[in-house]
Amino acid sequence: VSAVWPRIIAHADMDAFYASIEQHDAPELRGRPVLVGPRSLRGVVLTASYEARPFGVGSAMPMARARRLCPQAVVVPPRFERYKQVSAQLMRALADFSARVEPLSLDEAFVDMSGSSHIFGDARSIGARLKAAIREATGGLTASVGVSASKYVAKVASSFAKPDGLTVVPPDEVRAWLAPQPISRLWGAGPKTQARLAEMGFATIGDVAGADPARLTAALGRIGVRFHALSRGEDVREVAASRTAKSLSCERTLERDIDSREEIERQLRKAADGVGRRLRKNRLLAGGVRVKLKTSAFRVLTRQQSLPAETQSSEVLYGTAAALLAAFDERGPFRLVGVCAYDLCSAAESTQLDLDVGDGARSRRLDAALDAVARRFGPGAVQRGSDAIGQSGIVGDVNLDFLNDDG
DNA sequence: TCTGGGGTCCTGATGCTT
DNA sequence: TCTGAAGCATCAGGACCC
């Protein structure tokens, strides 16, 4: 860290992660075009190996089209458990460099190296060492690494030279380096926003940097201000070591569209079971349930319901989801059914949260929770009144309820 | 061409509380 | 007791990311 480098932030991004793992594990796939994705014709490509990309195949492309463009490609169904293993190797390797590692997904992460330059050298040698460590930890897989003084610029830098690239952008060169990049490199500007920016006459990040922020705000709202800052390389966000999940969902696109009530309920049951299992595994409770349906015409509909008491029970999730079906106007057919648990909290802290408040909405929730406990364990399990509310007996019974739910 | 699954964040409408 | 406004929570939808 110096006057020139207020922070040193690296972004590591694995190259064609899933496809590279498949090629690593199955040597006969090396050197050949590989598509990782579902065998179903309704799916999309998750990752295309670098051998497949010259054919015009890329992530998120419909499988049917990818196979037409590159018929000789080998299609491999994804093995997420395996990818998680390799991801853990990657994150452990990064943790050797800094306590501040922020995973963004299975295959990429930020590393705050600000405190370590005296150990690992300047920005370029830090990047080179990261790449070498990743290669060694993952059995030879390559990553592209970007190093700069902010998260945003580090991320754009890592994507600049792929695969196996290393791009360092010193702080005093950030503005000039960003300026010629296309607006598609603006974090948060997807197809819709890019089109609007193009209409406004912006083609490069430099164009946005030179624009009047008021004009950006008028056209795009709050995100306009953020674009203006990012385009000038201003990004003060810290590398956050840990984040807690806010929702957890399970959704499936079906082999064929469905419209019978029984079939939809069967799919909801499967999804609710999946969500419940993961809630219990991660010791989380859900404060609400959301049902998602996608029509044959790709319209996405959602209905949600907050729960009287937090739960991790598949039964409660399913019951709530099934009841929500009545709130949809559309009758189908649907191509996707999903269940999402939101307002998550950890199972350990949940009871304290409930006991600790006395205002309107929450105290009604607490009342409902206590009713549930009383129904299940008998009226003696709950003592009401302001004096009784802090008693540990209530806490114990609520926890027991959830443990029993685990089966 | 025919469009996944896992998420996050934002916006606007609406209804409840204060 | 009535009324209005402000502030907040909830809900539905949409854009985006990997």
Closest residue to C11 measured CA to C1′: A304
Give the model confidence (pLDDT) of A163-201 as tens digits.
Answer: 999 999 999 999 999 999 999 999 888 888 888 888 889
Looking at residue A110, its pLDDT comes to 94
- Rounded CA–C1' distance between A107 and C9, in angstroms: 36
Q: How confident is the model at residue A385 (pLDDT cuts 50, 70, 90)?
A: very low
Q: Judge contact between A90 and A134, C-beta under 8 A.
A: yes
Residue A358: the pLDDT is 39
Q: Strand B: which residues have Cβ below 7 Å from it?
A: A 38, 41-44, 46, 59-60, 62, 64-65, 105, 221-223, 245-253, 274, 278, 298, 335-336, 338, 340, 359-361
pLDDT digits (tens, 9 = 90+) for A200-230: 899 999 999 999 888 888 888 888 888 999 9
> Do the bridges between strand A74-76 and strand A34-36 make them parallel or antiparallel, or are there none, so unpaired?
parallel
- pLDDT at residue A269 is higher than 90: yes
Average pLDDT over residues A50-75: 92
Question: Separation of CA A381 and C1' C6 in angstroms?
Answer: 41
Instruction: Quote the DSSP letter at residue A156.
Output: H
pLDDT band of residue A117 (cuts 50, 70, 90) is confident
Find the Å distance, CA of residue A161 to C1' of nucleotide C13.
37
Which nucleotide C1' is nearest A106 CA? C18
Q: Which pLDDT value is given to residue A365?
A: 58
Mean pLDDT of A242-250: 86
Assess whether pLDDT exceeds 70 at residue A393. no
Between A144 and A402, name the one with better pLDDT. Answer: A144
> Distance, angstroms, CA A221 to C1' B10?
10
Å: A356 CA to C8 C1': 20
Using the CA of A68, which nucleotide's C1' is the nearest one? Answer: B1
Q: Which nucleotide's C1' is closest to A105 (Cα)?
A: C18
Provide mean pLDDT across the span A140-169.
Answer: 94
Rounded CA-CA distance A279/A267 in Å is 18
pLDDT at residue number A34: 95
Q: DSSP E strands: which ranges in A43-202?
A: 47-48, 74-76, 101-105, 108-112, 143-148, 166-168
**CA closest to C18 C1', residue:** A105
Provide the pLDDT for residue A170.
Answer: 96
Which nt is closest to the CA of A189, judged by C1'? C16
Q: Over the stretch A270-284, which tens digit does the pLDDT of each residue have?
A: 999 999 998 998 888
Query: CA-to-CA distance for A176 and A209, rounded, in angstroms?
Result: 11
A398 pLDDT band (50/70/90 cuts)? very low
What are the backbone angles phi and psi of residue A352, rounded to the nearest 5°?
-65, -40
Is the pLDDT at A357 greater than 80, yes or no? no
Task: Quick: pLDDT tens for A305-321.
Answer: 888 888 999 999 999 99
Three-state DSSP at A376 gives: helix
The pLDDT value given to residue A314: 93
More confident residue, A398 or A239: A239
Residue A386 has what pLDDT?
37
pLDDT at A364: 57
pLDDT for residue A224: 87
Percentage of chain A exceeding pLDDT 70:
85
Active site residue A108: yes
- Which contacts of A316-320 are long-range, i.e. CB under 8 A and separated by 24 or more positions? A317/A272, A317/A275, A317/A276, A317/A286, A317/A289, A317/A341, A318/A268, A318/A269, A318/A272, A318/A273, A320/A289
